[in-house]
Structures are given as C-alpha cells and as structure tokens.
Structure 1
Amino acid sequence: MLESSFGLGFFLKRPKIESREWIVYFRITVDGIRKESSTKRRWDNTRWDQRFERAVGSKEDAKSLNFFLDSLTLKINEIKTEMMYSGKTITADKTMDEVLGRTAPKIKVLEEFQKHNDEMVALLGKGYAKA
C-alpha cells in the first residue's frame, strides 16, 4: 500500500551537557507522523549545513559522517521499497523498527520446548523410540 507522504531528514540536537559537539539524529515522517532516533554520532555544530543536512568540509571526518548518512538513507529507502513490494502498510513506526532492528519475534521458552517435542514425535519410528 502506498503512503501519501514519506520524508527523511537529518539534524543536530543539543546534548544536555553544554558542548560544541551535538548529536546527529534522523527523523522519518510518514503521513505526518514523525519518529526520530539518534545515529549515535556526534558532530561539531559549526560544521553542519542544515539546508543539505550534511557535514561541511573536505576532511576525512566529514566525508566519513556523510558516507554514513548516505548509507543510512539507502538502508531506509530499501526498507521502504521492500515494504511497498510486499504489500505492507508503510508507517513511521514500522519503518523505524526495521531500521533499528526491533522486528525479530521473541521466542518464548515454552514455545521452543513444544517445537522441539513436536519434532521428536515426528521422528518416532524412524530410528527413535518413545523412551
């Protein structure tokens, strides 16, 4: 299912402790619903171009951060495309969960034991005894 609007942006947020290095965040907006998260990277706020949402400069650290942000953009676009092809509804929550890796189902201990017992029952008579 297609969404009405999709947006991705990067910005700096001031840390609680006064510093020149601010934290780089990204925001995913789908149909006006926003979700944001930290990239776990810090950057000097005087070397940031908010219009282009990228680090300013030709030094290796700026190139490295910009490459990371480009890679993150590519990953988010791939997730969006995969959700679109599979027919899933694209939402900010689902997209953010995919980006952060929070989509793996939690396996409960009792369910895992039941699965193992079912596999063992299927092997009865094929070299395995009930004992």
Structure 2
Amino acid sequence: MNARSCPCGLPKSYAECCGRYHSGTAAAPTAEALMRSRYSAFVRQDAAYLLRTWHPRTRPTRLDLDPGMRWTGLEILGTGDGSAFHNTGTVEFRASYRGGSLHERSRFERVDGAWVYVDGEFPAQS
C-alpha cells in the first residue's frame, strides 16, 4: 500500500475512498463501506468520525485511541444485507495489527438514512 492509497484496502486513493466519508462530503452508501471507513478512521486515529458513525444507543461518551496501535490490513470475510435497499446489515471482518488480529461480526443500522455502527461480536476462533 502506498502512502496515498486508502487504508481500507480498496484500490483507490484515500481522498476518493474513505477520505470523503471522514470529511463529511459523502455518506457511506452501504454497511460495508461504513465498516471500511471506520477501519480507516482507526488507522488515521480519527476518533471524531468513529463517534459520529456510532449508533446513539450504543455510542460511548468518549473514545481513547492507542497512538501506538499500528493497523496493517483489513479483510472482509462476509456481509449480510446492508445495501441501499436495507435498514440493517452485518459485516464480518478481520483487521490485522502489528502482533495480531481482530475478528469481528459488526452490526449496522440506518439512523435518519445514514449507516451507523451498532455493536459487534467476536466469533469463536476456528
């Protein structure tokens, strides 16, 4: 990945991919796009975006990100619903970081037409 490519792993620049969601000039059209943009926000330490895209029902009052955390890649393992035609969706993913990985099945809902992260579960490692 070069310095200008998007951290989410899609073959686009950050500006034409997740950057436009982070800046607020566009909204993620699918649950997967929101999940990818949230991963990129973790990479870029953008706590404000993460809180803004968290469901009001489950959003923490603050988010302290570890400045030493180095995310190294995102792999989408599966999706369920979450398109422009749905109000809920799930995205299962593996996010790698220096020294390990996080495997989560995240739930998303629409609030006022925008996708937001609700919560996640951690599937048993196989």
TM-score range, shorter chain: under 0.3
TM-score by length of 2: 0.27
Identify, as 1 or 2, the structure richer in strand.
2
Structure exhibiting the larger radius of gyration computed from Cα positions:
1
Identify, as 1 or 2, the structure richer in helix.
1
TM-score by length of 1: 0.27
